[in-house]
Structure 1
Amino acid sequence: MSTAPRIDIDPAAFWADPYPMLAKMRREAPIAFVPQLGSTLLTSRDDISISEKQIDVFSSHQPAGLMNRLMGHNMMRKDGEAHQVERRAMFPTVSPRTVKAYWTALFQAHADRILDSIGPGRIDFMRDFALPFSGECLKSITGLTNIGFQDMDAWSQGMIEGIANYAGDPAVEARCHAATSGIDAAIDDILPVMREKPDQSILGVLLASGMAMESVRANVKLAISGGQNEPRKAIAGTVWALLTHPDQLDLVRRGEVTWLQAFEEYARWISPIGMSPRRIAKPWGIRDVEFEADERVFLMFGSANRDEKHFERADQFDVTRDTSKSVAFGAGPHFCAGAFASRAMIADVALPTVFARARQLEIADDEPVRIGGWAFRGLQNLPVKWLH
């Protein structure tokens, strides 16, 4: 066990709002062992930024980790050349050029079709737009067009909960197994079509690369685990943030700030991916804390993005902020491979289309907006009054 000071947390309170405790850790013990999570947490942006690049120490390769055990050995849990080989194989799908030339128009078609189906009145924006839009986009990107967006969402949620199931809840693990089994069945169903006519989707390019089928399956599951849950929450979350900060929405509407800036600030403020786990590969020390090999550490991205040393008024949403120090998409070799696609989905399509189409869009007062999570954080709902 590391020599880091011990800090106890209330898991329920930490799930509801981790930021007060993370701020306390940054002040008092920026590297702290939290027994309730069974891990040592790094909460300082500087420590996280440096450590994420030291893959010989802070290894993503975690043979006994939840992601490997439940989803298969994907590129996110590999380091060095093994990681780069699989990342390069996927790149033709998610490169800036492909996103601009191929995916953005398809994203726009999905957004227009879904918005056309929404009638005026009281809706849950998360359920009625963010969820189906993210799901339809992900169906296209992964190549699993033979399923419904509801399946995509359920599978993503099942895996996200499964790989954050540090308490070992058997019901959560069972839902994760059901999700991965469903994905395997969907892949098997569409494989003959994809082998005959490969396309620009993740499944298409990975099959064309000659990657082993076990790795193809693991990387499609990786894309689904993050590619549905995080964009869905980020779309609804950015809309919520702008509606609750109308002066900042006006800045965007007037063109003084871009939709991308609004999205990037939301991703800093409420980090959809709040944590990334690592395994200590060899004995190591940071300042006065010593680590033993094979210890588990959590890089707390959500804390890094509110580090007072780098962000003034860090707890406030401010679309005019310089977010270049944000690590919302990671900071090292594991920088999110789908970042360009996510930005196109959210900043180029979802946000401008929603606000252009809405004659009236305001938060409904008959139900509270619920937000939660620390490993993966975001809105659970978004009740709004909507008029075309």
Structure 2
Amino acid sequence: MKLNEINLLDLDLFVNGDPHQAFTLLRREAPLYWHERQHGRGFWAVTRYHDALRVYHDPQTYSSEHGISLTFDNVMPEQVGSGMMMILTDPPRHNRIRRVISPRFTPRTIAAHEPEIRRICDEILNTVIERGECDFVVDVAAKVPTAAICEMLGIPAEYRDLMYSLGNAAIGAQDPEYNQGRSPMETGRNAQAEFFGYFAKLIDERRKHPGKDLISALTVGEVEGAKLTDLEILFNTFLLIIAGQETTRNAISGGMLALINHPSERAKLTGNAGVMPTAIEEFLRWTTPVTHILRTARKDGEIRGETIREGDKVVVWNASANRDEEVFPAANQFDVTRTPNDHLAFGHGEHFCIGAHLARLEMRVMIEQVMRRMPDLELAGQPERLRSNFVAGIKHMPVRFTPSAMEAHA
């Protein structure tokens, strides 16, 4: 592959190919690369770790308010919640919205959810354990975060499948399985409209009768001396249900695939709970569920001696930064004992993922349970990847294992 052959907009590169070959070349020859687009103006591709940190830690120059992905960066700001959705706001407003939600995601608060997460994981594995085979993504990995975030938002269990399917359409709008022949724009917009239709009723109910759930926290919380509007609550609830499902689902499935493909690393975890914390971080680095994050220059800036003009799109490729050889020794080696491991799977700076502690808990509990109850789990077919350069996800992963009896939750 040559530099002029790299096309980070070619989704086949991410579904069928190996984007890391392209990223390695970019890091070596053009760590800050102007990438043309067939339609519209191009963007700066940031592929090295420390350059990524520079962008993440300078929201005064690199704004989140004009879109965060290449998929929808040309959508009208009001359609995607610019200035309203936490992930699409800049400081100081971002910090003020975040403070409304953050008490529900502190390490101590999340740790208290462990018995509940264990119960959820036990129930999920009980539904497949006697069969000896399943789709690991659909039947296992996806169900954990969906159930957990639905409980935190106060969404009844009977609506979990709806949240899962709408989440697939919203985040996988470029994938034929989810868009069913419609444009990504139409697919994403329709999924969002269905979400909003459902959540509008919940928000109205929680305004009248607030509880201890996250939607209630949004209805009673204040930002800059005023309560959030219904539209602001809708956008942030939408963010929580999408983000609450995707990163963990993809890290669990991608992490298990890595263990299957690296049996010596898997052996290090067997019967050794002390390795699990570093393994979780390596799953996150290795899979990097959010492949890229986009920022827009709100004023002129500079990276590696290049002038970034006001209005330029700057795309941080987390997947590349997490394989930067200058930061991660033997970066292309999967190592469950890797330390230090300050990866960018959860972003960095002001927009560091608010649900990181929850994601780590869900990953740890589920992978511990899978390794205990399905010790011989192996692939039964080829995994199918999501058609996206934004989310590194596995849609389907057929596996087989020795059937065993269901377990009663303690």
Q: Judge same fold: TM > 0.5, yes or no.
A: yes
Secondary structure at the counterpart of residue 56 of structure 1: coil
Structure 1 equivalent of residue 373 of structure 2: 357
- Bigger drift between 50-59 and 350-359 goes to 350-359
Give distance in 1, aligned partners of 2:247 and 2:33.
Answer: 27
Give distance in 2, aligned partners of 1:65 and 1:207.
Answer: 30
CA RMSD of aligned residues (A): 2.5
1:30 aligns with 2:40: no
Residue number among 184, 208, 219 corresponding to 1:172 in the alignment: 184
Residue number among 212, 217, 241 corresponding to 1:205 in the alignment: 217
1:287 aligns with 2:304: yes
1:15 aligns with 2:24: no
1:121 aligns with 2:129: no
1:218 aligns with 2:229: no
Give distance in 2, aligned partners of 1:93 and 1:224.
Answer: 14
Structure 2 equivalent of residue 158 of structure 1: 169
**How far is 1:105 from its partner?**
2.2
Structure 2 equivalent of residue 98 of structure 1: 109
Q: What does 1:334-345 correspond to in 2, within 5 Å? A: 334-345=351-362
**How far is 1:215 from its partner?**
1.2
**How far is 1:340 from its partner?**
0.8
Give distance in 2, aligned partners of 1:112 and 1:35.
Answer: 48
Residue deviations 1:44-94 (CA, integer Å, cap 9, x gap): 101111221011111112177549454323111111110001100011221
1:46 aligns with 2:40: no
Contact 2:383 2:394 in 1 (8 A): yes
Structure 2 equivalent of residue 309 of structure 1: 326
Letter paired with 2:395: Q
Residue number among 328, 349, 353 corresponding to 2:345 in the alignment: 328
Secondary structure at the counterpart of residue 314 of structure 1: coil
- Bigger drift between 86-95 and 248-257 goes to 248-257
Contact 2:141 2:252 in 1 (8 A): yes
Contact 1:61 1:79 in 2 (8 A): yes
Letter paired with 2:367: L
**How far is 1:181 from its partner?**
1.4
1:383 aligns with 2:398: yes
**How far is 1:21 from its partner?**
0.7
**How far is 1:257 from its partner?**
4.4
Contact 1:66 1:162 in 2 (8 A): no
Give distance in 1, aligned partners of 2:139 and 2:33.
Answer: 41
Secondary structure at the counterpart of residue 33 of structure 1: strand
**How far is 1:23 from its partner?**
0.9
Structure 2 equivalent of residue 72 of structure 1: 81
**How far is 1:327 from its partner?**
1.1
Give distance in 1, aligned partners of 2:358 and 2:304.
Answer: 38
Letter paired with 1:356: R
**How far is 1:188 from its partner?**
2.4
1:371 aligns with 2:389: no
**How far is 1:34 from its partner?**
1.5
Secondary structure at the counterpart of residue 258 of structure 1: helix
Q: 1:181 to 1:298 in 2, by over 3 A?
A: same
Residue number among 253, 259, 269 corresponding to 1:242 in the alignment: 259
Unaligned residue ranges in structure 2 (runs of 5+): 68-72, 222-226, 405-410
